[in-house]
Amino acid sequence: MQTGTSKLGGMTTSTLSTVSIALGERSYPITIGTGLLGQSATFAALPSAATAVIVSNTTVAPLYAQQLQLALASKYKSVHLVALPDGEEYKTWQTLNLIFDALLEQGCDRKTVLFALGGGVVGDMTGFAAASYMRGIPFVQVPTTLLAQVDSSVGGKTGINHPMGKNMIGAFYQPLQVVCDLDTLKTLPDRELSAGLAEVIKYGPIADLKFLDWIEANMDRLLARDVQALAHAVQRSCEIKAWVVGQDERESGLRAILNFGHTFGHAIEAGLGYGAWLHGEAVGCGMVMAAHLSQRLGLVDMAFVQRLTALIGKAGLPVVGPQLHAQDNVGRYLELMRVDKKAEGGEIRFVVIDGPARAAMRGAPDALVREVIDACCI
Protein backbone atom coordinates (compact mmCIF):
# COMPACT_ATOMS: atom_id res chain seq x y z
CA MET A 1 0.00 0.00 0.00
CA GLN A 2 1.35 3.40 -0.97
CA THR A 3 0.21 6.83 0.13
CA GLY A 4 1.20 10.33 -0.83
CA THR A 5 0.23 13.42 -2.78
CA SER A 6 -0.17 12.94 -6.49
CA LYS A 7 -0.73 15.11 -9.55
CA LEU A 8 -3.19 13.72 -12.05
CA GLY A 9 -3.66 15.58 -15.31
CA GLY A 10 -2.21 18.73 -13.80
CA MET A 11 -4.60 18.67 -10.85
CA THR A 12 -3.31 17.87 -7.38
CA THR A 13 -5.44 15.38 -5.49
CA SER A 14 -5.58 14.95 -1.74
CA THR A 15 -3.57 12.14 -0.20
CA LEU A 16 -3.71 9.26 -2.65
CA SER A 17 -3.67 5.65 -1.46
CA THR A 18 -3.13 2.52 -3.50
CA VAL A 19 -4.03 -0.91 -2.18
CA SER A 20 -2.93 -3.88 -4.26
CA ILE A 21 -4.86 -7.10 -4.81
CA ALA A 22 -2.17 -9.80 -5.15
CA LEU A 23 -3.48 -12.45 -7.56
CA GLY A 24 -0.50 -13.17 -9.77
CA GLU A 25 -1.19 -12.19 -13.37
CA ARG A 26 -4.66 -11.01 -12.32
CA SER A 27 -3.32 -8.55 -9.72
CA TYR A 28 -4.65 -4.99 -9.85
CA PRO A 29 -4.57 -1.70 -7.91
CA ILE A 30 -7.33 -0.05 -5.89
CA THR A 31 -6.79 3.71 -6.09
CA ILE A 32 -8.37 5.82 -3.33
CA GLY A 33 -8.48 9.61 -3.24
CA THR A 34 -10.32 12.72 -4.39
CA GLY A 35 -10.35 14.35 -7.81
CA LEU A 36 -9.74 11.03 -9.57
CA LEU A 37 -12.79 10.52 -11.75
CA GLY A 38 -12.26 13.27 -14.31
CA GLN A 39 -8.49 12.87 -14.72
CA SER A 40 -7.14 10.97 -17.72
CA ALA A 41 -3.97 10.05 -15.80
CA THR A 42 -6.09 7.96 -13.40
CA PHE A 43 -6.61 5.48 -16.23
CA ALA A 44 -3.23 5.81 -17.96
CA ALA A 45 -2.09 2.25 -17.24
CA LEU A 46 -5.14 0.64 -18.85
CA PRO A 47 -4.79 -1.12 -22.22
CA SER A 48 -5.66 0.85 -25.33
CA ALA A 49 -8.69 -0.07 -27.38
CA ALA A 50 -10.91 1.43 -30.04
CA THR A 51 -13.94 1.49 -27.79
CA ALA A 52 -14.86 1.96 -24.14
CA VAL A 53 -18.35 1.50 -22.74
CA ILE A 54 -19.45 3.11 -19.49
CA VAL A 55 -22.21 1.20 -17.73
CA SER A 56 -24.03 3.32 -15.15
CA ASN A 57 -27.61 3.89 -14.01
CA THR A 58 -30.19 6.62 -14.43
CA THR A 59 -29.28 8.19 -11.06
CA VAL A 60 -25.47 8.21 -11.29
CA ALA A 61 -25.00 8.83 -15.01
CA PRO A 62 -26.29 12.44 -14.96
CA LEU A 63 -23.90 13.21 -12.09
CA TYR A 64 -20.64 11.64 -13.20
CA ALA A 65 -20.77 10.02 -16.65
CA GLN A 66 -19.63 13.15 -18.51
CA GLN A 67 -16.55 13.52 -16.27
CA LEU A 68 -15.56 9.94 -16.94
CA GLN A 69 -16.25 10.23 -20.67
CA LEU A 70 -13.96 13.25 -20.91
CA ALA A 71 -11.22 11.48 -18.95
CA LEU A 72 -11.38 8.48 -21.27
CA ALA A 73 -11.66 10.44 -24.53
CA SER A 74 -7.90 10.76 -24.98
CA LYS A 75 -7.42 7.00 -24.69
CA TYR A 76 -10.41 5.56 -26.57
CA LYS A 77 -11.69 6.63 -29.98
CA SER A 78 -15.31 5.97 -28.98
CA VAL A 79 -16.77 6.14 -25.46
CA HIS A 80 -20.37 4.95 -25.21
CA LEU A 81 -22.76 5.13 -22.26
CA VAL A 82 -25.37 2.60 -21.13
CA ALA A 83 -27.66 3.86 -18.34
CA LEU A 84 -29.52 1.05 -16.59
CA PRO A 85 -32.59 1.46 -14.39
CA ASP A 86 -31.56 2.11 -10.78
CA GLY A 87 -32.29 -0.37 -8.00
CA GLU A 88 -31.64 -3.85 -6.65
CA GLU A 89 -34.90 -5.04 -8.19
CA TYR A 90 -33.32 -4.52 -11.64
CA LYS A 91 -30.38 -6.85 -11.01
CA THR A 92 -31.85 -9.35 -13.45
CA TRP A 93 -31.27 -11.15 -16.76
CA GLN A 94 -33.48 -8.60 -18.49
CA THR A 95 -31.35 -5.66 -17.35
CA LEU A 96 -28.11 -7.55 -18.02
CA ASN A 97 -29.24 -7.97 -21.62
CA LEU A 98 -29.35 -4.19 -22.01
CA ILE A 99 -25.55 -4.23 -21.64
CA PHE A 100 -25.17 -7.03 -24.18
CA ASP A 101 -27.52 -5.22 -26.58
CA ALA A 102 -25.36 -2.09 -26.41
CA LEU A 103 -22.12 -4.04 -26.92
CA LEU A 104 -23.49 -5.82 -29.97
CA GLU A 105 -25.10 -2.71 -31.44
CA GLN A 106 -21.76 -0.86 -31.21
CA GLY A 107 -19.83 -3.78 -32.69
CA CYS A 108 -17.66 -4.09 -29.60
CA ASP A 109 -14.75 -6.54 -29.80
CA ARG A 110 -12.67 -8.45 -27.28
CA LYS A 111 -10.46 -5.43 -26.55
CA THR A 112 -13.40 -3.19 -25.63
CA VAL A 113 -13.11 -2.02 -22.01
CA LEU A 114 -16.19 -1.76 -19.80
CA PHE A 115 -16.31 0.80 -16.97
CA ALA A 116 -18.74 0.17 -14.10
CA LEU A 117 -19.78 3.62 -12.85
CA GLY A 118 -22.15 3.23 -9.93
CA GLY A 119 -22.88 1.16 -6.85
CA GLY A 120 -22.86 -2.55 -6.20
CA VAL A 121 -25.67 -3.43 -8.60
CA VAL A 122 -23.96 -1.69 -11.54
CA GLY A 123 -20.59 -3.17 -10.58
CA ASP A 124 -21.88 -6.72 -10.24
CA MET A 125 -23.79 -6.63 -13.53
CA THR A 126 -21.01 -4.92 -15.49
CA GLY A 127 -18.50 -7.46 -14.22
CA PHE A 128 -20.80 -10.34 -15.16
CA ALA A 129 -21.32 -8.85 -18.61
CA ALA A 130 -17.54 -8.49 -19.00
CA ALA A 131 -17.00 -12.10 -17.92
CA SER A 132 -19.59 -13.34 -20.41
CA TYR A 133 -19.30 -11.17 -23.54
CA MET A 134 -17.11 -12.96 -26.10
CA ARG A 135 -16.11 -15.18 -23.14
CA GLY A 136 -14.33 -12.34 -21.40
CA ILE A 137 -13.42 -8.69 -21.98
CA PRO A 138 -11.59 -6.27 -19.65
CA PHE A 139 -13.46 -4.07 -17.20
CA VAL A 140 -12.78 -1.41 -14.59
CA GLN A 141 -14.67 -0.70 -11.39
CA VAL A 142 -15.46 2.97 -10.66
CA PRO A 143 -17.62 2.65 -7.52
CA THR A 144 -19.67 5.68 -6.47
CA THR A 145 -21.19 4.37 -3.23
CA LEU A 146 -19.44 3.66 0.06
CA LEU A 147 -20.66 0.07 0.02
CA ALA A 148 -19.19 -0.54 -3.42
CA GLN A 149 -15.90 1.18 -2.55
CA VAL A 150 -15.29 -0.89 0.58
CA ASP A 151 -16.73 -4.20 -0.58
CA SER A 152 -18.53 -5.11 -3.78
CA SER A 153 -16.10 -3.54 -6.28
CA VAL A 154 -13.16 -5.43 -4.79
CA GLY A 155 -12.47 -9.12 -5.27
CA GLY A 156 -14.09 -10.08 -8.56
CA LYS A 157 -17.52 -11.30 -7.49
CA THR A 158 -20.00 -10.57 -10.26
CA GLY A 159 -23.57 -11.65 -10.86
CA ILE A 160 -27.30 -11.11 -10.82
CA ASN A 161 -30.15 -12.08 -8.52
CA HIS A 162 -32.75 -14.81 -8.92
CA PRO A 163 -36.21 -14.55 -7.34
CA MET A 164 -35.25 -17.50 -5.10
CA GLY A 165 -31.86 -16.18 -3.99
CA LYS A 166 -29.46 -13.25 -4.11
CA ASN A 167 -26.39 -13.38 -6.36
CA MET A 168 -27.05 -17.00 -7.26
CA ILE A 169 -26.02 -16.55 -10.92
CA GLY A 170 -22.60 -15.10 -11.67
CA ALA A 171 -18.87 -15.59 -12.01
CA PHE A 172 -15.58 -14.74 -10.35
CA TYR A 173 -13.98 -12.23 -12.72
CA GLN A 174 -11.39 -9.67 -11.65
CA PRO A 175 -11.31 -6.05 -12.88
CA LEU A 176 -8.17 -4.39 -14.24
CA GLN A 177 -8.42 -1.54 -11.73
CA VAL A 178 -10.68 -0.12 -9.01
CA VAL A 179 -10.94 3.68 -8.76
CA CYS A 180 -12.50 4.98 -5.52
CA ASP A 181 -13.09 8.72 -5.91
CA LEU A 182 -14.25 9.93 -2.50
CA ASP A 183 -15.81 13.01 -4.11
CA THR A 184 -18.65 10.82 -5.37
CA LEU A 185 -19.73 10.20 -1.78
CA LYS A 186 -20.78 13.86 -1.49
CA THR A 187 -23.92 13.16 -3.52
CA LEU A 188 -24.72 9.86 -1.79
CA PRO A 189 -28.09 9.86 0.01
CA ASP A 190 -27.84 9.46 3.80
CA ARG A 191 -29.57 6.09 3.66
CA GLU A 192 -27.00 4.81 1.14
CA LEU A 193 -24.14 6.13 3.29
CA SER A 194 -25.47 4.19 6.28
CA ALA A 195 -25.81 1.09 4.13
CA GLY A 196 -22.14 1.35 3.20
CA LEU A 197 -21.14 1.70 6.84
CA ALA A 198 -22.54 -1.79 7.47
CA GLU A 199 -19.81 -3.27 5.29
CA VAL A 200 -17.19 -1.06 6.96
CA ILE A 201 -18.29 -2.22 10.41
CA LYS A 202 -18.15 -5.85 9.27
CA TYR A 203 -14.37 -5.81 8.95
CA GLY A 204 -13.84 -5.05 12.65
CA PRO A 205 -15.26 -8.16 14.30
CA ILE A 206 -13.96 -10.53 11.63
CA ALA A 207 -10.40 -9.22 11.29
CA ASP A 208 -9.32 -6.10 13.20
CA LEU A 209 -10.59 -5.06 16.63
CA LYS A 210 -8.46 -1.88 16.53
CA PHE A 211 -10.37 -0.90 13.42
CA LEU A 212 -13.63 -1.61 15.26
CA ASP A 213 -12.45 0.70 18.04
CA TRP A 214 -11.63 3.36 15.44
CA ILE A 215 -15.05 3.07 13.81
CA GLU A 216 -16.75 3.52 17.18
CA ALA A 217 -14.64 6.58 17.95
CA ASN A 218 -15.17 8.12 14.50
CA MET A 219 -18.75 7.23 13.62
CA ASP A 220 -19.87 10.87 13.89
CA ARG A 221 -17.13 11.93 11.46
CA LEU A 222 -18.10 9.20 9.03
CA LEU A 223 -21.76 10.19 9.14
CA ALA A 224 -20.70 13.81 8.59
CA ARG A 225 -18.71 12.69 5.49
CA ASP A 226 -15.38 13.91 6.82
CA VAL A 227 -13.10 13.11 3.89
CA GLN A 228 -10.13 12.02 6.00
CA ALA A 229 -12.29 9.65 8.02
CA LEU A 230 -13.87 8.24 4.88
CA ALA A 231 -10.44 7.82 3.27
CA HIS A 232 -9.20 5.80 6.23
CA ALA A 233 -12.37 3.68 6.35
CA VAL A 234 -12.16 2.87 2.64
CA GLN A 235 -8.42 2.19 2.74
CA ARG A 236 -8.50 -0.11 5.78
CA SER A 237 -11.56 -1.96 4.50
CA CYS A 238 -9.86 -2.54 1.15
CA GLU A 239 -6.63 -3.66 2.84
CA ILE A 240 -8.50 -6.31 4.82
CA LYS A 241 -10.49 -7.50 1.83
CA ALA A 242 -7.36 -7.57 -0.35
CA TRP A 243 -5.59 -9.71 2.25
CA VAL A 244 -8.49 -12.18 2.36
CA VAL A 245 -9.05 -12.34 -1.40
CA GLY A 246 -5.32 -12.76 -2.02
CA GLN A 247 -5.45 -15.99 -0.02
CA ASP A 248 -8.80 -17.31 -1.21
CA GLU A 249 -9.95 -15.78 -4.49
CA ARG A 250 -12.86 -18.14 -5.13
CA GLU A 251 -14.26 -18.48 -1.62
CA SER A 252 -13.23 -22.06 -0.99
CA GLY A 253 -12.48 -21.30 2.65
CA LEU A 254 -11.22 -18.10 4.30
CA ARG A 255 -13.06 -15.65 2.01
CA ALA A 256 -16.39 -16.86 3.40
CA ILE A 257 -15.73 -14.79 6.56
CA LEU A 258 -16.50 -11.68 4.49
CA ASN A 259 -20.12 -12.86 4.53
CA PHE A 260 -20.60 -12.10 8.22
CA GLY A 261 -24.27 -11.14 8.56
CA HIS A 262 -25.03 -12.01 4.95
CA THR A 263 -26.86 -15.32 5.44
CA PHE A 264 -29.57 -13.62 7.48
CA GLY A 265 -29.25 -10.46 5.39
CA HIS A 266 -29.78 -12.16 2.03
CA ALA A 267 -32.89 -13.88 3.41
CA ILE A 268 -34.25 -10.47 4.42
CA GLU A 269 -33.61 -9.02 0.95
CA ALA A 270 -35.19 -11.94 -0.89
CA GLY A 271 -38.06 -12.29 1.55
CA LEU A 272 -39.08 -8.64 1.46
CA GLY A 273 -38.50 -8.30 -2.29
CA TYR A 274 -35.25 -6.90 -3.67
CA GLY A 275 -35.03 -3.17 -3.11
CA ALA A 276 -37.36 -2.93 -0.08
CA TRP A 277 -34.28 -2.87 2.18
CA LEU A 278 -30.89 -1.81 0.87
CA HIS A 279 -28.24 -4.52 0.90
CA GLY A 280 -26.28 -2.78 3.65
CA GLU A 281 -29.39 -2.40 5.78
CA ALA A 282 -30.06 -6.13 5.52
CA VAL A 283 -26.41 -6.94 6.29
CA GLY A 284 -26.39 -4.63 9.32
CA CYS A 285 -29.43 -6.36 10.77
CA GLY A 286 -27.98 -9.71 9.72
CA MET A 287 -24.83 -9.00 11.73
CA VAL A 288 -26.95 -8.41 14.82
CA MET A 289 -28.64 -11.77 14.25
CA ALA A 290 -25.32 -13.51 13.58
CA ALA A 291 -23.89 -12.00 16.77
CA HIS A 292 -26.85 -13.38 18.74
CA LEU A 293 -26.26 -16.79 17.15
CA SER A 294 -22.56 -16.60 18.09
CA GLN A 295 -23.57 -15.84 21.66
CA ARG A 296 -26.06 -18.73 21.81
CA LEU A 297 -23.35 -21.04 20.50
CA GLY A 298 -21.19 -19.97 23.44
CA LEU A 299 -18.58 -18.22 21.28
CA VAL A 300 -18.99 -14.60 22.46
CA ASP A 301 -20.59 -12.93 25.45
CA MET A 302 -23.66 -10.71 25.52
CA ALA A 303 -21.48 -7.63 26.00
CA PHE A 304 -20.08 -8.15 22.49
CA VAL A 305 -23.59 -8.52 21.07
CA GLN A 306 -24.70 -5.31 22.76
CA ARG A 307 -21.58 -3.44 21.60
CA LEU A 308 -22.04 -4.45 17.98
CA THR A 309 -25.78 -3.78 18.05
CA ALA A 310 -25.23 -0.28 19.45
CA LEU A 311 -22.65 0.54 16.76
CA ILE A 312 -24.89 -0.69 13.95
CA GLY A 313 -27.78 1.34 15.34
CA LYS A 314 -25.60 4.45 15.62
CA ALA A 315 -24.74 4.06 11.94
CA GLY A 316 -28.43 4.50 11.17
CA LEU A 317 -29.07 0.86 10.34
CA PRO A 318 -31.94 -1.40 11.44
CA VAL A 319 -31.15 -3.75 14.31
CA VAL A 320 -34.49 -5.59 14.43
CA GLY A 321 -35.41 -8.06 11.70
CA PRO A 322 -38.61 -7.80 9.66
CA GLN A 323 -41.43 -10.31 9.45
CA LEU A 324 -41.11 -12.22 6.19
CA HIS A 325 -44.30 -14.29 6.63
CA ALA A 326 -47.40 -13.59 8.66
CA GLN A 327 -48.01 -17.18 9.75
CA ASP A 328 -44.56 -18.78 9.72
CA ASN A 329 -41.87 -16.11 9.86
CA VAL A 330 -39.13 -18.43 11.12
CA GLY A 331 -40.00 -21.05 8.52
CA ARG A 332 -39.70 -18.50 5.73
CA TYR A 333 -36.26 -17.35 6.97
CA LEU A 334 -35.05 -20.95 7.10
CA GLU A 335 -36.45 -21.71 3.65
CA LEU A 336 -34.61 -18.77 2.11
CA MET A 337 -31.36 -19.46 3.97
CA ARG A 338 -31.27 -23.05 2.70
CA VAL A 339 -30.68 -21.73 -0.84
CA ASP A 340 -27.85 -19.45 0.28
CA LYS A 341 -24.59 -20.09 -1.59
CA LYS A 342 -22.87 -21.15 1.64
CA ALA A 343 -25.42 -23.90 2.38
CA GLU A 344 -24.06 -27.43 1.98
CA GLY A 345 -26.36 -30.39 1.40
CA GLY A 346 -29.31 -28.35 2.63
CA GLU A 347 -27.52 -27.42 5.87
CA ILE A 348 -27.41 -23.68 6.50
CA ARG A 349 -23.90 -22.38 7.19
CA PHE A 350 -23.33 -19.17 9.13
CA VAL A 351 -20.35 -16.89 9.61
CA VAL A 352 -20.01 -16.55 13.37
CA ILE A 353 -17.55 -14.72 15.62
CA ASP A 354 -15.56 -17.22 17.65
CA GLY A 355 -12.93 -14.99 19.23
CA PRO A 356 -11.32 -11.53 19.04
CA ALA A 357 -11.21 -10.52 15.37
CA ARG A 358 -11.78 -14.11 14.35
CA ALA A 359 -14.65 -15.52 12.32
CA ALA A 360 -15.55 -19.03 11.25
CA MET A 361 -18.14 -20.95 9.25
CA ARG A 362 -20.46 -23.04 11.39
CA GLY A 363 -23.65 -24.99 11.10
CA ALA A 364 -26.26 -24.54 13.84
CA PRO A 365 -29.28 -26.58 14.93
CA ASP A 366 -32.54 -25.29 13.47
CA ALA A 367 -33.94 -24.98 16.97
CA LEU A 368 -31.18 -22.53 17.92
CA VAL A 369 -31.59 -20.54 14.72
CA ARG A 370 -35.33 -20.38 15.40
CA GLU A 371 -34.61 -18.88 18.82
CA VAL A 372 -32.41 -16.21 17.26
CA ILE A 373 -34.97 -15.24 14.63
CA ASP A 374 -37.76 -15.10 17.19
CA ALA A 375 -35.63 -12.96 19.50
CA CYS A 376 -34.40 -10.59 16.77
CA CYS A 377 -37.53 -9.97 14.72
CA ILE A 378 -40.40 -7.56 15.24
Least confident of 49-53, 66-70, 161-165, 209-213: 161-165
pLDDT of 62-83, one tens digit each?
999 999 999 999 999 999 999 9
Q: What are phi and psi of 127, to 5 degrees?
A: -65, -40
pLDDT on residue 325: 96
Max CA pair span of the chain:
63
| Amino acid present at 268 | I
Catalytic annotation present for 202: no
Q: Choosing from 91, 157, 232, 292, which is the catalytic residue?
A: 157
The pLDDT of residue 147 is above 70: yes
The pLDDT of residue 29 is above 80: yes
pLDDT on residue 256: 93
Distance CA 214, CA 232 (A): 10
pLDDT on residue 15: 63
Across the chain, what does the average pLDDT equal?
94
Q: Are 225 and 193 in contact (CB under 8 A)?
A: yes
Catalytic annotation present for 281: no
The pLDDT of residue 130 is above 80: yes
From the number of C-beta atoms within 10 Å of its C-beta (0-12, 13-18, 19+), residue 335 rates as middle
Q: Are 308 and 205 in contact (CB under 8 A)?
A: yes
- Residue 342 — pLDDT band, cuts 50, 70, 90? confident
pLDDT of 368-377, one tens digit each?
999 999 999 9
- Residue 13 — pLDDT band, cuts 50, 70, 90? very low
The pLDDT of residue 123 is above 90: yes
pLDDT of 258-304, one tens digit each?
999 999 999 999 999 999 999 999 999 999 999 999 999 999 999 99
Q: Choosing from 236, 266, 314, 341, which is the catalytic residue?
A: 266
Q: Choosing from 166, 259, 281, 341, which is the catalytic residue?
A: 259
Cβ neighbours for 41, distance < 8 A, ≥ 6 positions apart: 7, 8, 9
Catalytic annotation present for 292: no
Catalytic annotation present for 255: yes
What's the whole-model pTM score? 0.94
pLDDT on residue 2: 47
Distance CA 29, CA 178 (A): 6
Q: Choosing from 166, 232, 262, 349, which is the catalytic residue?
A: 262
